Amino acid sequence: MGDFPAVRLHVVSGKGGTGKTTVAAALALALAHGGRRVLLVEVEERQGIAQLFDTPPLPYQERKVAVAPGGGDVYALAVDTEEALLDYLHMFYKLSPNGLPARTLRRIGAIDFATTIAPGVRDVLLTGKIKEAVTRKDGTRPWYDAVVVDAPPTGRIGRFLNISHEVGGLAKVGPLKAQSDSVMKVLSSKQTAVHLVTLLEEMPVQETRDAVEELTALGLPVGGVVVNMVRSSQLTPAQLRSVEDGTAPQEDVAAGLAAQGLEPGLGTALLAQAADHAERVTLEEQGRDVLAHLGRPTYELPLLSEVDLGALYELAQMLRDQGAA
Amino acid sequence: MRTHELPKAASRVDLEKVLDTAEIIVCCGSGGVGKTTTAAALALRAAERGRRTAVLTIDPARRLAQAMGLDELDNTPRPVAGVDGALDAMMLDMKRTFDEIVLAHAEPAKAEQILANPFYQALSSSFAGTQEYMAMEKLGQLHATGDYDLVVVDTPPTRSALDFLDAPERLTTFLDGRLVKVLLAPAKAGGKAYLRVMSAGFSVFTNAITRIIGASVLQDLSQFVAAMETMFGGFRERAQTTYDLLKRPTTAFVVVAAPERDALREASYFVERLEKEQMPLAGVVLNRVHRSAAPSLTAERALAAAEQLDAGSLTAGLLRVHAERLSLVQREAHLKERFTGAHPDVSLIEVEALAGDVHDLEGLRRVGADLVA
């Protein structure tokens, strides 16, 4: 099923402004299709998922936010670093969040230190929580069929996922090291794919290319490339060329406009506007070429005027149709 | 070509005047909205209006470098060639900036110890947040040299871009907190400080922390804090100085956004945050605003006419392209109205969308002209 049958952890990154939260949500819906249970995780404390699904801000708790066609469930979780640390202390050290040691840690500022100041700890906690969700069991089968992460942007994705490097410098042995190793094992396994969301614009395309290179060098599995907000042109390639190089027949346009009772003089303005459009289409084609050379499965999603819940279902269906899920 | 005029914000900022008088301009905003380009365009325009200007970017992608035609930006401001004026550009090397502070403020032997500590190395090169602090440190340094009339700073594309505003308070809470004393305790074992914190919950704490992070990590951390202790006072003072510098009326914050829902939501966050801190906000730059060349022809009329024409004809295509453009213009106008409705006193400065990215000075000049138009 889909291009990533072995993958259970889908990490979605992309340059800022490319719509990675929307794509992550649509992918979660697509993966849940047909009665599967999927968790959508947010790590940047922006509450983007709650806004997309039109629900109140998410607590640090897995909560059902949508039902996929065919009966699957999408749960969502906004990971809060401090809660994740208390959770971690509870899980591994049986320290109750309200017990004396946890309270002492909080009072003296150790929790704050660990989650905001101590290097790398934050990412270990976030990825640790993700790993826990991926490996959680419901009897003998996995609790979640898939986990989708709305991850940090491409500029920081390598650092976010390559936690063993961050922690490695600090702890050569010991529990922190053991934890980061076990997380890293999942992140770099065949169970994981890092998908990159891009637009057909120069900078996002360039950053996608850089991210593929960086992730590959780090031994992290790159998944697919999702080209978001694609606009199709109303003009044929030949028309675009004629508009761009100024050979378009102005008289014909003026006559066409006049025939419809429109001001023939508008033709000049419309042609100028279309030339701008044609330039953009040319740049988009160049972007497509660059992406094609990355050799990753590529999916395209159209530009939508409003991303509401209905639109998410549409995008999910498109991802399924193209084999992303 | 300016179309679809909106009710302008109550007081429209004169950016040209800001460029002529401000000593510091801080650009903040979410990713992908053209923040670096805006910073570079503002700096270039100021330089070409006769001010000695430096532009500091901390974005790891070398966008500014490309726009400024520099192959490599390092931690030193370098003159930008081809500018009709004095413009220097630099990209922040946060580790180097941090190292320089350590070397300047600690005894040589202690500095060595700090630079070699694994905690310091991780903190100075990868801790999210260090970048923001170091950018403000570098900003303070550049401003203090007196070499520049204006320093323009680009910030990281995250909400944490404004974390530096918390730096003085956070450092104070942390440094005066018990955690530091606890961490210093092993280094001062036997001393009075140790005995004081020994009391409530301390053994529980050390046991817990040793189990969690391991004894050797705790030892490194303790050594790190001990070595840094001598510098802490200096850090706090510097953070406070920068905070005060940013608050002065000669500083201008520019929030950069694009007419998209998410970008405007982030812009609202930045605006509210700056207002809360009473930081001098100049206005919001709205990049990538679309305009139409034929605003008088409505989308409905254009589509109706296209229907009547031969579907494959150029004229029908042009009319459809026009209808698409107009609906985009309207959607953007709606988003802008919502933003101005929520922030009626904030100036909105619009910059027209370009088909391609800006990679040369000429492009930056055009953006600069649009910014003050």
DSSP A283-295: HHHHHHHHHHTT-
Query: Does the distance separating the beta carbons of B314 and A239 come in below 8 Å?
Result: yes
Q: Which two tokens stand for residue A186?
A: 């999942």
When scoring A23, A105, A108 by the number of chain B Cβ atoms within 10 A, the one with the most, hence best to mutate, is A108
* Chain B residues touching residue A112 (CB < 8 angstroms): 173-174
* Chain B residues touching residue A250 (CB < 8 angstroms): none
Instruction: Give the other-Cβ count within 10 Å of A207's Cβ.
Output: 26
How does DSSP classify residue A56?
A: S
Shortest Cα distance, chain B CAs vs residue A1, angstroms: 33
Placement of tokens 């990281």 in the chain: B156
Q: Output the CA torsion sign for B287, B293, B296, B298.
A: negative
CA distance B368 to B88: 17
Q: Which of B119, B294, B321 sits opposite A234 (nearest CB)?
A: B321
Buried b / exposed e along B135-159 (16+ C-beta atoms within 10 A): bbbbbbbbbeeeebbbbbbbbbbbb
What is the ipTM for the molecules in this complex?
0.80
The domains located in chain B, with CATH, are 15-172+243-297+335-372 (3.40.50.300)
Average pLDDT, 10 consecutive residues per value, chain B (373 residues): 45 88 93 87 97 83 60 77 92 85 85 83 67 83 95 80 67 66 60 44 62 69 73 74 90 95 90 92 95 93 94 94 94 95 94 83 92 91
pLDDT for the residue numbered A226: 98
Shortest Cα distance, chain A CAs vs residue B308, angstroms: 8
Query: Does the distance separating the beta carbons of A169 and B315 come in below 8 Å?
Result: no
Tell me which chain A residue has its CA closest to the CA of residue B127.
A119
* Chain A residues touching residue B214 (CB < 8 angstroms): 171, 173-177
Q: Which of A16, A169, A243 sits opposite B118 (nearest CB)?
A: A169
* Chain A residues touching residue B262 (CB < 8 angstroms): 17, 19, 21, 48
Tell me which chain A residue has its CA closest to the CA of residue B304.
A260
When scoring B35, B131, B217 by the number of chain A Cβ atoms within 10 A, the one with the most, hence best to mutate, is B217
CA distance B322 to A270: 7
Query: Does the distance separating the beta carbons of B174 and A113 come in below 8 Å?
Result: yes
CA distance A322 to B5: 41
Q: Give the 3-state secondary structure of residue A229.
A: strand
pLDDT for the residue numbered B9: 44
pLDDT for the residue numbered B93: 83
Q: Which of B182, B305, B320 sits opposite A108 (nearest CB)?
A: B182
Query: Does the distance separating the beta carbons of B121 and A120 come in below 8 Å?
Result: no
Q: Which helix (H) or strand (E) holds A148?
A: strand A146-150
When scoring B33, B212, B228 by the number of chain A Cβ atoms within 10 A, the one with the most, hence best to mutate, is B212
* Chain B residues touching residue A234 (CB < 8 angstroms): 317, 320-321, 324
What dihedral angle (degrees, nearest 10) is formed by the CA atoms of A33, A39, A43, A45?
A: 90
Q: Which of B157, B261, B308 sits opposite A16 (nearest CB)?
A: B157
CA distance B245 to A206: 36
* Positions in chain A whose pLDDT score sits under 50: none
Do A106 and A89 form a contact (C-beta atoms < 8 A)? no
Shortest Cα distance, chain A CAs vs residue B202, angstroms: 8
pLDDT for the residue numbered B76: 85
Do A65 and A53 form a contact (C-beta atoms < 8 A)? yes
Q: Which of B32, B318, B355 sits opposite A279 (nearest CB)?
A: B355
Query: Does the distance separating the beta carbons of B327 and A117 come in below 8 Å?
Result: no
pLDDT for the residue numbered B91: 84
* Chain A residues touching residue B122 (CB < 8 angstroms): 119-120, 166, 169-170
Q: Which of A175, A206, A279 sits opposite B356 (nearest CB)?
A: A279
pLDDT for the residue numbered A212: 97
Q: Which of B215, B260, B322 sits opposite A270 (nearest CB)?
A: B322
* Chain A residues touching residue B317 (CB < 8 angstroms): 234-236, 239, 274
Query: Does the distance separating the beta carbons of B216 and A101 come in below 8 Å?
Result: no
Whole-number Cα distances in Å, B8 to A62, B14, B344 = 44, 13, 9
pLDDT for the residue numbered B1: 43
- What mean pLDDT value characterizes chain A? 90
pLDDT for the residue numbered B171: 61
Tell me which chain A residue has its CA closest to the CA of residue B201.
A104
Query: Does the distance separating the beta carbons of A120 and B126 come in below 8 Å?
Result: yes
pLDDT for the residue numbered A86: 83
The domains located in chain A, with CATH, are 9-231+303-321 (3.40.50.300), 233-294 (no CATH)
